[in-house]
């Protein structure tokens, strides 16, 4: 049995280092309860840009610029070692960590932000970075487009892990790319919530015959800082739950075994049995005996994309 801990806590909005330290403390708290896999929500570091669903297009250019600058300043440059405290915590407590984050590109323009999810092994090593392929609707004004280089299923001591972020989980071919790599624990960091989302998580567990873990964003107006631009206009109700969370764990076949955790902060624990994956695939294995490669095949381009290609010249 594998003990999983889903972290449903708010970040310290826009504050990268404070949010990283909060994550370190929560990893220690989960490990104290013998968790082996610790999962954070979408864009946990340092906050999902919930305001994009409230701003009026064309009327809020100045406030959008202010908020984007704050989001950029609070984003993570992985190459600069800004995830190192979380990596050290994973190694110290011997846990595997999956974390959503705003990732600042540290290689090219250094000003583009991606919606990313990372897998960190229990030795502290960064095992995978997946950038959201298709930001949803107004998210495209905030995040860049990812590529296929992170569409990987990673073999870890707690099982074979794969991640898709929020509405990527509605992309059938993206899901299939994980099924075909033998995913056992399918992790969906998300801002979505509610009955429709929960039903989708159950469908994916039925379709892929894998464990499905949804780590949802929970955010209360009390967690929006007082100096947030146009706070009174965008978040007028001081008691409002901006997003409900609804983190949950679904067994292969679709049964909910933990959660949904609704409108509250905390850690959702669950024990999962990886043997259930193979058992439930006896009757349906969409990437195995139930597939028809003579009729359907999926091509995935996993090449990392870059806007810069350098051709070296030979000096004479």
* Active-site residue identified among 3, 22, 42, 193: 42
* Active-site residue identified among 3, 132, 261, 281: 132
> Known catalytic residue: 22?
no
> Known catalytic residue: 132?
yes
> Known catalytic residue: 42?
yes
* Active-site residue identified among 166, 168, 184, 261: 166
> HEC profile for the chain?
CEEEEEEECCCCCCCHHHHHHHHHHHHHHHHHCCCCEEECCCCCECCCCHHHHCCCCCCCHHHHHHHHHHHHHCCECHHHCCCHHHHHHHHHHCCEEEEEEEEECCCCCCCCEEEEEEEECCCCCEEEEEECCCCCHHHHHCCCCCCHHHCCCEEECCEEEEECCHHHHHCHHHHHHHHCCCCCEEEEEECCCCHHHHHHHHHHHHHHCCEEEEEECEEEHHHCCCCCCCHHHHCCCCCCEEEEEEEEEECCCCCEEEEEEECCCEEEEEEECCHHHHHHCCCCCCCCCCCCCCCCCCCCCCCCCCCCCCCCCCCC
Cβ proximity of 94 and 87 under 8 Å: no
Q: Hey, which residues are catalytic here? A: 42, 132, 166
């Amino acid at each position: 049995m594998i003990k999983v801990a889903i972290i449903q806590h708010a970040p310290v909005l826009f504050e990268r280092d404070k949010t990283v330290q909060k994550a370190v403390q929560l990893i220690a708290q989960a490990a104290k309860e013998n968790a082996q896999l610790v999962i954070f929500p979408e864009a946990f570091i340092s906050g999902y840009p919930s305001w994009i669903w409230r701003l009026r297009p064309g009327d809020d250019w100045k406030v959008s610029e202010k908020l984007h600058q704050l989001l950029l300043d609070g984003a993570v440059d992985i190459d600069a070692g800004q995830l190192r405290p979380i990596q050290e915590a994973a190694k110290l407590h011997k846990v595997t960590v999956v974390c959503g984050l705003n990732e600042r590109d540290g290689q090219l323009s250094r000003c583009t932000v991606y919606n990313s999810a990372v897998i960190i092994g229990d030795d502290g090593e960064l095992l995978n970075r997946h950038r959201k392929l298709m930001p949803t609707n107004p998210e495209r004004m905030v995040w860049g487009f990812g590529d296929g280089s992170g569409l990987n299923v990673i073999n870890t001591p707690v099982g074979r892990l794969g991640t898709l972020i929020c509405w990527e989980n509605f992309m059938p071919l993206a899901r299939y790319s994980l099924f075909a790599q033998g995913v056992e624990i399918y992790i969906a960091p998300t801002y979505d919530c509610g009955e429709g989302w929960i039903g989708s998580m159950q469908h994916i567990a039925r379709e892929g015959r894998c464990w499905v873990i949804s780590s949802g964003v929970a955010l209360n107006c009390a967690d929006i800082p007082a100096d947030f631009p146009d706070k009174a206009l965008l978040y007028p109700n001081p008691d409002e739950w901006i997003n409900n969370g609804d983190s949950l764990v679904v067994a292969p076949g679709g049964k909910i075994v933990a959660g949904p955790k609704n409108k509250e902060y905390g850690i959702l624990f669950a024990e999962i049995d990886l043997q259930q994956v193979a058992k439930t695939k006896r009757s349906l294995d969409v990437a195995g005996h139930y597939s028809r490669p003579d009729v359907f095949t999926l091509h995935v381009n996993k090449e990392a994309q870059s806007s810069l290609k350098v051709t070296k010249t030979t000096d004479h």
